[in-house]
Structure 1
Amino acid sequence: MSATPQRHRRTRRLTLAALAVTAGAGAMVAAALPAGAASGGGSAKSRTVDVQMLSFNDFHGTLEPPQGSSGNVTERQADGTTKSIPAGGVEYLATGLREARKGHEYSVTAAAGDMIGGSPMLSGLFHDEPSIEALNKLGLDVSSVGNHEFDEGKAELRRMAYGGCHPVEGCFEFGKDFTGAQFQYLAANVTDEKTKRPMMSPTYVWKKGDVKIGFIGVTLEGTPDVVTADGVKGLKFGDEIETINKYAAELNKQGVKSIVALIHEGGLPANGAYNYDCNVPGAGAGISGAIVDIAKNVDSKVDALVTGHTHQAYACNIPDPAGNPRTVTSAASLGRLFTDTTLTYDRQTKDIVRTPIASPKPVNKVVTRDQTKAADMTELIQRWNALAAPIANRPQGFISADIPGRGSEAPEKPLGDLIADAQLEALAPADKGGAQLAVMNPGGIRSDLAYKASGSEGDGVVTYGESFTVQPFTNMMNIVDLTGAQLITALQQQVSGPVNGANPKILQVSKGFTYTLDMTKAGVDRIVVDSVKLNGAAIDPAKTYRVAMNEFLAGGGDGFTVLKEHKNKLVGASDLDCFNDYLTNNSSAAAPIAPPAANRITVIK
C-alpha cells in the first residue's frame, strides 16, 4: 500500500444543484397522446421515444453471490406455490444489465441508495472501493444516497463520490489512486447544518439527443435513527416529500419536465414473491409502509419512483395526487434483482406519457446464476480477493450446519442468539465490564453463516471473511448500567413508536434472558411484562443490570431511545472480535458449534 496517495478530481457530469424554489408551479396532468400522434422506439420522425430505465437498490457491496438464504429470491408459480431461485453476484448482474440494454437506443441506469455499507469483507475490508469500481463498470448513471452511505461519515462518502485514497490506510493497490464514482450520487434532503446547503448534488439530468430526464435523490428522513451518531454528525435530514416537491419545481423551471425520484425509503408488499402483483385487488392495496404515503403526496410533476431500504421486491401502481397512474418499484437487495421500466417520452411536451396503455408495466428480473459471468467482473473479484486472501482465509472456528441470520424471517434468529452469546461471554468478566446479559440489533446481522460457503476452505469452517460478512461494521461494544424498568421499556420499543411501530425490530438476546412476545396484541402490550426474566428470575424494575450492546444501540439507534439513558459506560472490544474469539474458544473440527435452538423469545401469534 502506498502511504502517500496522489489525489485528483475527475470531470463530473452535468448536474443541477440550484437551491431556489419556484412558487406557484401548477400540477402537471399526464395525458395520452393526441389522436394521430406517432409513437415509436427512437425514430427521429416519431413524437415519442421509449426510454429504458434499469434500476436496483440496496446493493450493499455484495460482489460475490450472497450466502445462505440471503442469496435466494422467491418466485410465485401459476398454481399459487412458490419456488426459491438462487440469485445475485455482480458477475451475473453485469451480464443481466448488459443483455437487457441490447436493442435499446435510449437506456439509463439508476439506483435508490445503500450501494455501499454493511458490505461483505471483499468490499468492506477496502472501505467499499471495490464496489464503487464495480458499479462504474455496471454502467450506473445515478444513485441516491441511502443511510448506509453514511456508515463511515460524510467525509468518507465524499471520497467515495470524488475519489482519492483512504486518509489513513492510503492506496490499496500499488500505484493506483482511487478515482471515485463515475455515476452521480444525489443527496437532496441532506444538508450541512452550518451552510444549510445540500452536502451533495440534489439533482441530475440525463441527456441523450433531445431527450432529457431529471433525477432527484433522497434518503429517508429517519437516517439518524439507523446510523451511528458519528456517521451523521453535522448533517440534517429533511422531509422526503417536501424535498422532492421542491426540486421537482426547480427542474421544471430549468425546462426538465420528465422527472424520476430515487428514494431510499420503501414499502412492504403483502407477499414476498418478487413477481407478486401488488396492484391486486386495487391500486396500491397490495403494499404498505412509509413509501405509500410518500407516493400519494409527491408532486404529480414526478413521473416514477424508484425506492429501496426495506429490501423488498415490488412493481406497484400508486396514483399521484392528481389521480394519474405512477409506478413505484423496488428490486429487493444484494443485486438479486433489477427492475426494467419503460418511460415513454413525448418530444413535444418533453414529459413522460403516463397511462397504463402507453408504457409496459415495470418488471423485476431475476439475476440468475445460470447465465454467463461477466469477465471484467470476474477479474475485479479475483484481483481484490488476492489482496484480501491473507486475512480473509484465516479460520476462526467451526459450525455443524447453516446458522440462519439475515435470511431468517422469525423474530428470534439462531445467528442473533450466537452473536449475543459471544458478546456476553467476552464482556461478563469483572475486568471486561461485568455484563449480565447482551442484546443485539437484528439489522446488524448482515448474512447467514453458511456451513458450505464459497471458497477453498472445508465445509463447516468459518473464516475471518465469513465472520466479517456477518458483522462488517466493527462496532465497539459498550457495557452499561440499565434499570430493569429501562430494559422492559427497550423491549417495548421493539414493537412501538415511530421507528418500530409498523416494522418491529426484535432485539436478539443472550442465553438466560427470556420473555414472551404476544403478536395478537398491539404496541407495548405485545411485551408480556411478567414473562421478562434473567436466568429464571423476574426482572426487577428497580434493580440495576449490566448490559452489553454495540455502540449503535447504546446511542439509541433503531428507535431504542431508552438505551441512551444508560450510566457507567465501559467501552470494550469490537463486536467482530467478540464473535471471532467465541468461535475460536468454543469450537473445533471435532466439536463444531450447532445452530442455537432460538427458544429464548416465546412468540404468540
Structure 2
Amino acid sequence: MRLKFLSGVVPLVLFGFIVTSHSVIYADVQITNNVDNYSKPSLEPDYQKTDTSNSKDIAVQFLGINDLHGGLETTGPVDIGTKTYEDAGTVGRLAAYLNQAQSQFKKVTKSDNSLRIEAGDIVGGAPANSSLLAHESTMHVLKAMNFKIGTLGNHEFDQGLPEFNRILTGGEPSSQTDSLVKKYAHYSSGIDMVVANVINKKDHKIPYGYKPYIIKTVKQNNKTAKIGIIGLETSTLPSLTLYKNYKDYQVLDEADTIAKYDKILRDKGVNAVVVVGHTGVQSKDKTTSGPTVDILQKLNKIDPNNNVGLYIAAHSHQYANAQVGNTHVVQAVYTGKAYDNSWAYVSSKTGKFTKVSTHVYPVLSKKDDSETKADKKVVSIVKDADKRVKSKVNNVIGYAGKAETITGRLHNSASMENQAGEMVADAQLFEAQKAGLKPDFAFTNTGGVRSDLVVKSNKAITWGSAIAVQPFGNILQVVDMTGAQIRQALNEQYDEDQHYYLQIAGLSYSYAKDENQAYVVKDIWNSQGQLVADDQTYRVVINDFLHGAGDNFHAFKDTKIVGAIGTDTETFVKYIKAMTKTEHKVVAPTLNRKKLVE
C-alpha cells in the first residue's frame, strides 16, 4: 500500500550539531530524513565528542552492511545523501573503513562495545571469485572482518537453505561438487544467524537452530545493560526465489513478528532493541519510503510502546538514513560500496536507548583516499580466490564488434531497457529456436541480469564476464501463453512503479500513462510487425524463477511448459560463442522495444 505524505523542512539537533532535515508525516508516524554530507566518520561533527547528557550512559556502536552479493572486488558509483562517490567499493577497503570507524568510536566514547552486523544477501548473484567457490570466499572475508551477527536474505535461498547453512558453518561439500570447491578451505564464518519470521512448515520451528533474537550484554564504567537484536527475512521471499527453495518454509509478517519478540525481550528486562531486517527502504528527494516504513508504521499501531531504536535495512540496494517515529533506519546501498555507522547510548538504569545517531558512509576509492590502505588479511583472501578461479574466468569465449562495455541495469534507458538485459533475452530466444521449440518471444527479469558485459580492449569477452551477467543458473523453460497473458505480464511491470521490470526479445510494444497505475500497455507487435492478439497462443521463453511468479509477475505462474533448454548461464555463453562466428560479432541491442506514446 502506498500512502501520501506531507513534507516540510525542520532543524534536527544531534549531539549539538544542527543539520537540515525534512520532516514528513506518514499516517500517524513522523519521518525525519537526514542527509549525509561527510565521507568519513572522522569528519562527522556529531561523532567528534559525546553529548554531556549521555556521559553516564553506555555507548554502543553498530556497524552494518547489506546485500554484499559476494562483491569482493566490485566497484562503481554510490549515491549517499546528495553526493555521488565514484569507483567506491572492494571488501579490502571496506574492512579498512570499518576498522577506522570502530577505532574512532572507541577513541571518542572510551567504549569497547562495537558490533558488526550484516542484513542479508551476503551471497548470490555474485562474481566468479565468490560463485565458483560456492561463496565460501565471501564467508572467509566476513569472518576476517569480524562480522558476528547476520540475518537471511532471499539470495541465501538460491541454492537451497541447506547449502547456505553448509557454507555458514563450514561443512564439507557433497561428492558431486566441483573440484574448485572441494579443494577450498571449509570453516565456520562465526556469524550468528538471527531470523525470527522464518519457520519450518512441519514443526513451526526456525530452521537450523537459528535464533529469533540475540541478547548482547554491554558494559562501560562498571555499568551493564542488555540489547536485543531481532532478525527478519522479507515476507516477499516466495516471489524472489524458486519454489523448491522456499516450499518447506513459512515467512511470517514482519511487524507482527517484531511486536511479538519486542514483548518477549521486554519481559526479559531488555528495553533496547535493534532490528536487522532484509526489507527495503530508500531516502530520496527529501522523503523516505518503502516496505520498512510500512512495517514500522504497522508496528507503531500494534505496539506503540515498542523499544526498537534502530532498524538496519536491506534488499532494495538503496541509500537510507531517517527516523521513523522513534526508530532510526539505515541502509548502506549494496555490494560493499558503503556501510552504516550508528552510535547509540543506553541507560544502565532503564535499559533504554537515550540517544541514537545514524550515518552512512562510502567505501572511498584509492584515488579519493590514498591514505587509507586496504586491509591486508582481507586482500589476501580475495587474491587467493582470484588465483583459484583465474584459468576459468579468463578463458575467452567470444569477441564483440566494438571494444566497448555492453551496459546493464545501472544504465537503463527511459523505458527501462538495457543492453545486457536485452542481449540475455535475445540469447534465450536464439537458443530456444536452435533447439527446435519454435518460440515467439523471450522475457527475463532484470534482477537476474547482474552486471555489465565487460569487453576487453582487444574486443575479447571472457567466461568470467559472461558469468557476471548471468550467474544464477536458472532453468529456461518454453511455455504457452495467450496474448492476454503476455499483456498482463507486461502490465505487471507498471503496478509497482517499475520496481520490477522485464527485458524482452521477439516483440515490441507501446505504452502510455494511466490513471490506475504508472503506465498501461497499448499495442504489442511481433518481430514481423504484426499485432499480438489477446486470444491467440504463443510460445514464450522464461526462466523458472519467473514461472514461479518471481518478482510478482503472476501472469507467468503455472503456464504450460512445452520444453526446456538448459540454464540461463549456459545459454548466454553459447550465444556469445555463436554471435562471434557472425560477421558483426557480439553487438549491443538497440534499445527501442518499449515505446512511450501520448
**TM-score, length basis structure 2:** 0.83
The answer to whether residue 514 in structure 2 is matched with residue 521 in structure 1 is: yes
Q: CA separation in 1, counterparts of 2:396 and 2:95?
A: 31
SS in structure 1 opposite 2:542?
A: strand
Counterparts of residues 405-424 of structure 1 (less than 5 Å) = 405-410=408-413, 411-424=416-429
The answer to whether residue 365 in structure 2 is matched with residue 369 in structure 1 is: yes
The match for 2:447 among 422, 435, 443 is: 443
SS in structure 2 opposite 1:508?
A: strand
1:172 CA drift (Å):
4.7
Match of 1:306 in 2: 312
Q: Deviations over 1:426-462 (max 9, x none)?
A: 1113x4422121111010011122335xxxxx55322
Match of 2:257 in 1: 243
Number of equivalent positions? 522
SS in structure 2 opposite 1:599?
A: coil
* Counterparts in 2 of 1:98 and 1:604: CA distance versus 1, 3 Å: farther
8 A Cα contact 1:493 1:524, kept in partner: no
Q: CA separation in 1, counterparts of 2:361 and 2:550?
A: 34
Counterparts of residues 155-554 of structure 1 (less than 5 Å) = 155-167=162-174, 168-169=176-177, 172=180, 178-199=186-207, 200-209=210-219, 210-271=224-285, 278=286, 286-298=287-299, 299=303, 300-319=306-325, 325-354=326-355, 359=356, 361-370=357-366, 371-399=372-400, 400=402, 401-410=404-413, 411-429=416-434, 431-452=435-456, 458-496=457-495, 501-510=496-505, 512-518=506-512, 520-523=513-516, 526-554=519-547
Q: CA separation in 1, counterparts of 2:517 and 2:491?
A: 5
Match of 1:561 in 2: 554
1:418 CA drift (Å):
0.5
- Between the aligned residues of both structures, percent identity stands at 27
Q: CA separation in 2, counterparts of 1:250 and 1:451?
A: 55
The answer to whether residue 67 in structure 2 is matched with residue 58 in structure 1 is: yes
Aligned residue type for 1:156: E
8 A Cα contact 2:407 2:452, kept in partner: yes
1:75 CA drift (Å):
5.4
SS in structure 2 opposite 1:516?
A: strand
Aligned residue type for 2:410: G
Q: CA separation in 1, counterparts of 2:311 and 2:493?
A: 29
Match of 2:3 in 1: none
1:220 CA drift (Å):
0.9
Q: CA separation in 2, counterparts of 1:108 and 1:171?
A: 36
8 A Cα contact 1:171 1:178, kept in partner: no
Q: Deviations over 1:279-311 (max 9, x none)?
A: xxxxxxx02221211122334211111101110
* Counterparts in 2 of 1:76 and 1:140: CA distance versus 1, 3 Å: closer
8 A Cα contact 1:150 1:231, kept in partner: yes
Q: CA separation in 2, counterparts of 1:92 and 1:130?
A: 16
Match of 2:31 in 1: none
8 A Cα contact 1:475 1:575, kept in partner: yes
8 A Cα contact 1:492 1:523, kept in partner: no
Q: CA separation in 2, counterparts of 1:334 and 1:425?
A: 32
1:83 CA drift (Å):
4.2
SS in structure 2 opposite 1:304?
A: strand
SS in structure 2 opposite 1:472?
A: coil
The match for 1:596 among 560, 578, 589 is: 589
* Counterparts in 2 of 1:174 and 1:561: CA distance versus 1, 3 Å: closer
8 A Cα contact 1:440 1:508, kept in partner: yes
1:502 CA drift (Å):
4.2
1:161 CA drift (Å):
2.7
Aligned residue type for 2:171: G
The answer to whether residue 97 in structure 2 is matched with residue 96 in structure 1 is: yes
The answer to whether residue 117 in structure 2 is matched with residue 110 in structure 1 is: yes
8 A Cα contact 2:123 2:156, kept in partner: yes
CA RMSD of aligned residues (A): 2.4
Q: Deviations over 1:531-552 (max 9, x none)?
A: 4444311111121111111111
- Greater than 6 Å deviation, 4+ residue runs: 40-43, 173-176
Q: CA separation in 2, counterparts of 1:595 and 1:126?
A: 30
Gapped runs of 5+ residues in structure 2? 1-48, 107-111, 367-371
Aligned residue type for 1:115: I
SS in structure 1 opposite 2:144?
A: helix
Match of 1:27 in 2: none
8 A Cα contact 2:432 2:541, kept in partner: yes
8 A Cα contact 2:69 2:125, kept in partner: yes
**TM-score, length basis structure 1:** 0.82
* Counterparts in 2 of 1:88 and 1:525: CA distance versus 1, 3 Å: closer
1:566 CA drift (Å):
1.6
8 A Cα contact 2:311 2:329, kept in partner: yes
Q: CA separation in 1, counterparts of 2:163 and 2:254?
A: 23
8 A Cα contact 2:409 2:421, kept in partner: no
SS in structure 1 opposite 2:89?
A: coil
8 A Cα contact 1:417 1:596, kept in partner: yes
Match of 2:24 in 1: none
